[in-house]
Amino acid sequence: MHSVAAYRKSLAAAACASMTVDLGAIVRNYRKLCALAEGSEVMATVKADAYGLGVEQVAPALVKAGCTTFFVALVAEGAALRRALDENSLSADIYVLNGFQPGSETAFQMASLRPVLNSLPQIADWRSVGAPQPCALHVDTGMNRLGVSPADMSQLTPSSFEDLDLRLVMSHLACGDDPANGKNEEQRNLFETLSKPFHGIPKSLCNSAGVLLGKPFHFDAVRPGVALYGGAPSMSKSVEFEPVVTLSSKILQVRQIDKDQTVGYGATHRAGTPARIATLGIGYADGYRWGLGGKARGFLGETGVPVVGRISMDLTTVDVSHVPEEVAQPGASVTLLNQQITVNDAAALAQTIPYEILTGLSPRLERHYRGVEENGAAPAGGAS
Ligand SMILES: *Cc1c(COP(=O)(O)O)cnc(C)c1O
């Protein structure tokens, strides 16, 4: 007979790769956004499980830091968020960006979710189920993805919403990450025009990148996502956000190879000199992307260890020739993402965006959270 605790401990000992999320850093990034958007409310976008970092842990930390409104993409995400808040005896408003699908009113009602209404039919559908919850209106100002088009907006007036509980009018920027792009100002002007008739209803235009465009873009509320999680929102690197994720993996095996031997699939890495190769228990199925093969590096202690050869599904090989033999041993931990190698660096190397690195971090990784007291109390994020 083994206890549950002993079983858990043995599973943890067997884990090969883990990620640590610094909730304190998320809270500090939130406060930085509050300072940048001073005078506007900072809501938080936590779709896709808080960009892969765990909405159950992230959202309560943000509520305790003063955030009262969240955005998710899906009803199921909203329901999971509501559960996490309820379990912590916390409350917040939750908007569902993908809007209202006919038949889903019970789920909206049970989890007290607010639809972001994106089209005339969605508005009609929400009205026809008795509009049980407050809602938001998304007007399209040039993204051409979701939102009521400017042409359709001409059919709407504030009185079209008299029987609905409209709480927010929002739009979304296409090029917020490129401050020099003239489309930002175009969208801002169109948003101002289209939202103007809705007196007294809060307005929101900005994601993370939009926050960096300055006060004229902020309106009443901003709704950043990626910046909270340490992603670089903008091409202009004027403002940096604190890295949040540490990713590390254990060495499973170390081998000595001769000059001209190759490593891994496709034999893409050929040793120029005799070398020591360590095999790590992490691969692209964990979210350590295939595109990082031969490009990224990790850290074993203070020493950089280049990733050599292709990334496999469950394994990654690094050259540890420059690390003392007694250090590069099975069981030693190699760090693959941290303050020195950020999600932004990894995204650049893998030719993708930090969003995809973050949301790709797999549920298979063992997860740890920092910045919360042992008893689950407030995050140690510094005073506001
Ligand atoms: C995802 C999303 C956001 C947050 O975007 P970031 O670039 O992560 O800050 C805000 N608004 C809408 C409509 C979104 O889809």
Q: What's the pLDDT tens digit per position in 59-91?
A: 999 999 999 999 999 999 999 999 999 999 999
Q: What is the distance between the alpha carbons of residues 281 and 17, in angstroms, rounded to a whole number?
A: 6
Whether 123 has a pLDDT exceeding 60, the answer reads: yes
Please tell me the pTM assigned to this model.
0.94
Half-sphere exposure of 305 (CA within 13 A, CB side): 31
Annotate 18-38 with DSSP letters as a single string.
Answer: EEEEEHHHHHHHHHHHHHHTT
- Cα 172 to averaged position of ligand 1 atoms, centre (Å): 8
Q: What is the distance between the alpha carbons of residues 359 and 380, in angstroms, rounded to a whole number?
A: 25
- Cβ < 6 Å from ligand 1: which residues? 45, 47, 97, 172, 207-209, 223-227, 233
Strands 135-138 and 166-170: parallel
Number of Cβ within a 10 Å radius of residue 339: 12
- Cα 223 to averaged position of ligand 1 atoms, centre (Å): 7
Containing 87, the helix (H) or strand (E) segment is helix 75-87
Structure tokens at 308: 């050599």
Give percent above pLDDT 70 in the chain. 96
Q: Is the dihedral of CA 76, 77, 78, 84 positive or negative?
A: positive
Please write the tens of the pLDDT for every residue from 353-371.
999 999 999 999 999 999 8
Which residues are 318's β-sheet partners? 278, 307
Q: What is the distance between the alpha carbons of residues 62 and 30, in angstroms, rounded to a whole number?
A: 8
**What is the Cα gyration radius of the chain?**
24
Please write the tens of the pLDDT for every residue from 284-294.
999 999 999 99
- Cα 321 to averaged position of ligand 1 atoms, centre (Å): 43
Ligand 1: nearest atom to the Cα of 47: 1
- Cα 208 to averaged position of ligand 1 atoms, centre (Å): 7
| Closest alpha carbon to 176 in 100, 121, 232 | 232
State which of 146, 223, 239, 244 you would mutate to test the pocket of ligand 1, scoring each by most atoms of that ligand within 8 A of its C-beta.
223
Please write the tens of the pLDDT for every residue from 195-209.
999 999 999 999 999
Ligand 1: nearest atom to the Cα of 210: 9
State which of 29, 36, 41, 45 you would mutate to test the pocket of ligand 1, scoring each by most atoms of that ligand within 8 A of its C-beta.
45
Structure tokens at 156: 């709407």
Please write the tens of the pLDDT for every residue from 22-61.
999 999 999 999 999 999 999 999 999 999 999 999 999 9
User: Which pLDDT score is estimated for 377?
Assistant: 45
Ligand 1: nearest atom to the Cα of 73: 15
Which residues are 245's β-sheet partners? 21
- Cα 143 to averaged position of ligand 1 atoms, centre (Å): 12
Domains of the chain: 23-229 (3.20.20.10), 245-341 (2.40.37.10)
- Give the mean pLDDT of 135-147: 98
Determine whether 151 is exposed, middle or buried from the number of CB atoms within 10 Å of its CB (0-12, 13-18, 19+): exposed
- Which residue minimizes the CA distance to atom 13 of ligand 1? 172
Report, as residue numbers or ranges, the catalytic residues: 47, 265
Ligand 1: nearest atom to the Cα of 45: 4
| Residue whose token pair is 């808080």 | 50
